[in-house]
Structure 1
Amino acid sequence: MDVDGSKRVFQRLGPSSSNSNTNSNNSSFNKNKSQQVCYHWRAGKCNRYPCPFLHRELPMPPQQQQSRMGNGGAGSLSSKRPYGFADDQANMPRRNSNFNNTWGRSQGGGVARKMEKICNYWMQGNCSYGDRCKFLHCWCTNAFTLLTQLQGHQKVVSGIALPSGSDKLYTGSKDETVRVWDCQSGQCGAVINLAGEVGCMLNEGPWIFVGLPNIVKAWNAQTATDLNLDGPVGQVYSLVVGNDLLLAGTQDGTILAWRYNAVANSFEPAAQLKGHNLAVITLVVGANKLYSGSMDKSIRVWSLETLQCLQTLTDHTSVVMSVLCWDQFLLSCSLDKTIKVWAATDSGNLEVTYTHTEEHGVLTLCGMHDAEAKPVLLCSCNDNTIRVYDLPSFSERGKLYSKEEVRCMQLGPGGLFFTGDGTGEVRVWKWLAEPTATP
C-alpha cells in the first residue's frame, strides 16, 4: 500500500485494458473531458448543467465471444461470464487513486433509504383499504418491472441457469427437482426429479451444472450428454468456472476442481483445495484468482495458476454468504448485516476500504448495469427484500419484495433479471429506463 498524503492508493484486482489511463497518458486523457465520467455524478450529487463530463459509465466493451466447451462435445471451459460484473475488471478504465474515497459518500455521507413496506393483506389478496392503504400494493419500487411469475417448485429456489443457445430457463430447488421453462410461453415443459436437494446451479456455454449431495451433475443442452462428477462430500453449495476448471464448494469445506477432457467428453478430477473448516457457500473468479466464502466466517483468496491459498480474510463476524467482483474491488456480504468492499494494496493483499451496514442479514449479491450503463448492486436480505443500489455511492435506487427471502438471483439478456424465493416461486423482472412504481 502506498501513501499519498493521507490517501490510500489501492491497485486494481484485474489487469488494466489497453485504453486505461496510465502515467504516460494522464495529461492527454484529462484534456478530453468529454470522455471522462463525472466524479460528482458517481457520488449522486452533480448539480452542474450542462456538465462537461459524462453522466454515465463509459461504453461497455462488446461482448466477447465465449470459448465454449461442448460444441458437439468439444471445446474448453472459460471464466468469461455473459452478464454481471466479473468480466468488467479487465475492461473498465483504471480509476484514479482516490476513487475508493467515493464509496458511500452520497447524500452528505449517508445512504438514501426508502422506508416503504409491502402490505401483508395485499399479498394475501384481501386488503380492504385498496388505494387508501398506507402500505405498498406492488412488488417493487423503481428500477424494475415484474414481467411474470413462474410457479411450480414446492421449496426454496436455489439455482437458476440459462444455457447459451437455448430458449429454455432451468431452475433448481430444495424440493429435489429441476424445472425446465419455455422462455417464450413461460410454461414449464419438463420436471427432472433428482435424488437430492439442489444446492446451486451454473451454466457455461451449453453446459448446465447442478450441485447435489455428494455429486455434481453436468448436462449438455445441445448434445443431451448427461455426466456425473463424483468426489464431493456432502451438499455442493457453489459452482464457478475459471482457468478451464470447474470448481465446486462443498459441505465439508473442500473446493474440488475438474478439467474437461474434450477427447473423452468427460470431466477429470484436477485438484482439491483445502483450508476452510466449514462449508464453502460462495465462489467467484476474478483477476485469475478464486475467492471463496464460507460458513467459517472467512474468505480465502486462491491463485488459479498454482491453486494455492494466497490470503485469508477474516473481517466478517458471521457466515459469508456471497462474493462478487466489480472493477478493482471484491464485494462480500454476510449474515453479520454488512457488505464489505475490498481493494488490493501494492503488496497484492486485500483490505477493507468500505463497509456498508444493512438492518438485516445479507444473503446474496448480484451486479448489473442500468439503462445508462451505470453499475448497480442488488442485495438480497433476510427481511424478504432486495435492495437496489448505485455503485459506488450505495444510494438506494429501489426495492424488490418477495413473500419469503430470495436465495437466488440470475441475470439474463436484454435487461432481464430472475429471482427465486423461499416459496418456490421464480420471478422474471426487467430493468426500467424511467423509475416508476410497478403493480
Structure 2
Amino acid sequence: MKKKKDEKKNAKYECMDGDYTIKYDIRRFPPVHSDAISTVSSIQNGLCLSGSKDKSVILFDFHIGSTVEKWKHDKEVTKTTYDPKSDTFYSCSRDTTIKQWSRNNKNPVNTYNGHFMVVTGIAVNSDGERLCSGSRDNSLRIWDTKTAQCINQNCISRNLVTHIKWAKDSHLVAQTGEDKELRIWDARTLSVTVTFPKKQHIQMWCDWSEDQNSCLTCSNGFGGNGCEATLWDLRNAKPVSEFKGHQESCCSAIFAQSSMCDRPCILTSSNDSTIKVWDYVTSECLSTMPLPASGPVTSLALFPDAR
C-alpha cells in the first residue's frame, strides 16, 4: 500500500495495482468518558453505545456530537450490546451484573444477577427474547429477557470467557476464552457443538460471517508475536487463514462489506493504536489506519450502512 504524502486527517490509500481505492476520514469529538473506553456497539447510523472503565454506559449521537443517554454501573463496563427489536440496551461489568437499559430512563429496566466474577461477554438473539452471557467464572448463561431470570447455564473448567457473538437468526453462539479456544454453542441446550484447535495466544474477540460458515477471532500478544486475526471454517473446524501485521494485542476483529473498499474485507483493531483493513480472500493488508495518541484501540463497530 502507498499513502499519499501530506495527508493527515483525511487519508487516501491506493493499491499497488491501482484497481481500487480505499478512503477514510477521521472525525474527532470531545471526550465523553473520563477513562478508557472498553467497548463500542453500533445502534443505528450515527448512534453508538460505549462502555468505559469510568463505570458509565453512554449513548452518543455522532450527527450532533453529543451524549443522548448516560447510565452507570458500580465498576468498569466491559461489554455492551443492543436489541433493535425492542430498542433495548445491555451492558455488563466488573461488578458481576448485566443491566438492561431503555431511553429516557436513568435506572436499569432489569439487573441480571448470577455470575460471581466479572462478566466479559453478552449477546442477544435476533428476536430479543434470550440473552447469552459469559464470565471469568468459567460459565455461560442463557437469560429470559422478559424476566431477567437465568434459564440455563454451563461451566467449563478454565474457560475464562473473553467475548460472545450470537449468530443472526440462529441458535448458534460463538465464544472465545483465555484458554485460547473458539467454541460454538447451541443456545437451546447450552452445549458445545463445535470446538477448534487451540491457538498459541488468548483469543480476544469473535465474529460471524454473513453466511455463518466462518468465524473470525483475534489474539493477544506483544512485539508482533501473536497479535493476529484468524479465519475459521465451521464445516471442517479448521483455520483457513491468518491476518498478521499488528505489533501489539489484536483487540477486536469484524467482518465488513463497507464503502471503504469494493470487496468483502476484515477490520481489526489493536493495542498498537491502529486499525487494519484486510482482504477477506487473500489475507492481504489493504490499509493501516493509525490513530496517533489514541492509545489501545479496544473495540470496533460498523454502522448498518457500513460507512
TM-score range, shorter chain: 0.7 to 0.9
Q: Which has the higher contact order (CA 8 A, sep 6+)?
A: 1
- Asked if residue 415 in structure 1 is aligned to residue 306 in structure 2, the reply is yes
Larger radius of gyration: 1
Supply the distance in 2 between the matched residues of 1:339 and 1:198 (Cα, whole angstroms): 24
Taking a change above 3 Å as real, the CA distance of residues 359 and 200 of structure 1, as seen in their structure-2 partners, is closer
One-letter amino acid of the counterpart of residue 221, structure 1: R
Measure how far apart 1:255 and its partner are.
1.0
Measure how far apart 1:329 and its partner are.
1.5
User: Which residue in the other structure is 1:259 paired with?
Assistant: 144
- Map Cα deviations across residues 351-371 of structure 1 (whole Å, 9 max, x no partner): 122233334232111222123
User: Which residue in the other structure is 1:319 paired with?
Assistant: 202
Secondary structure (helix, strand or coil) at the match of 1:317 reads coil
TM-score, scaled to structure 1: 0.57
More helix per residue: 1
Gapped regions of structure 2 (runs ≥ 5): 14-22, 221-225
Supply the distance in 2 between the matched residues of 1:168 and 1:331 (Cα, whole angstroms): 25
User: Which residue in the other structure is 1:248 paired with?
Assistant: 133
Measure how far apart 1:276 and its partner are.
4.8
One-letter amino acid of the counterpart of residue 274, structure 1: C
The number of residues matched between the two structures is 278
Secondary structure (helix, strand or coil) at the match of 2:266 reads strand
User: Which residue in the other structure is 2:253 paired with?
Assistant: 365
Question: How large is the RMSD of aligned CA atoms in angstroms?
Answer: 2.7
- Asked if residue 279 in structure 1 is aligned to residue 139 in structure 2, the reply is no
Equivalent of residue 196 in structure 1, options 60, 64, 75: 75
Taking a change above 3 Å as real, the CA distance of residues 373 and 273 of structure 1, as seen in their structure-2 partners, is farther
One-letter amino acid of the counterpart of residue 158, structure 2: N
Supply the distance in 1 between the matched residues of 2:227 and 2:181 (Cα, whole angstroms): 15
User: Which residue in the other structure is 1:420 paired with?
Assistant: none
Contact 1:298 1:315 in 2 (8 A): yes
Contact 1:276 1:296 in 2 (8 A): no
Secondary structure (helix, strand or coil) at the match of 1:407 reads coil
- Asked if residue 216 in structure 1 is aligned to residue 103 in structure 2, the reply is no
One-letter amino acid of the counterpart of residue 175, structure 1: D
Supply the distance in 2 between the matched residues of 1:374 and 1:342 (Cα, whole angstroms): 19
Supply the distance in 2 between the matched residues of 1:207 and 1:304 (Cα, whole angstroms): 21
Supply the distance in 2 between the matched residues of 1:252 and 1:232 (Cα, whole angstroms): 7
Taking a change above 3 Å as real, the CA distance of residues 299 and 189 of structure 1, as seen in their structure-2 partners, is closer
Measure how far apart 1:168 and its partner are.
5.0
Secondary structure (helix, strand or coil) at the match of 2:90 reads strand
More strand per residue: 2
Taking a change above 3 Å as real, the CA distance of residues 163 and 396 of structure 1, as seen in their structure-2 partners, is closer
Taking a change above 3 Å as real, the CA distance of residues 303 and 313 of structure 1, as seen in their structure-2 partners, is same
- Pairing of 1:39-438 with structure 2 (within 5 A): 137-138=8-9, 141-142=12-13, 143-163=23-43, 168-205=47-84, 206-212=87-93, 213-221=95-103, 226-242=109-125, 244-261=129-146, 266-286=147-167, 288-326=171-209, 327=211, 328-335=213-220, 336-345=226-235, 349-360=236-247, 361-371=249-259, 374-402=263-291, 403-416=294-307
Contact 2:231 2:239 in 1 (8 A): yes
Secondary structure (helix, strand or coil) at the match of 2:77 reads coil
- Pairing of 1:23-42 with structure 2 (within 5 A): none
Supply the distance in 1 between the matched residues of 2:74 and 2:195 (Cα, whole angstroms): 35
Supply the distance in 2 between the matched residues of 1:214 and 1:158 (Cα, whole angstroms): 16
Taking a change above 3 Å as real, the CA distance of residues 139 and 318 of structure 1, as seen in their structure-2 partners, is farther
Measure how far apart 1:250 and its partner are.
0.8
Supply the distance in 2 between the matched residues of 1:161 and 1:397 (Cα, whole angstroms): 24
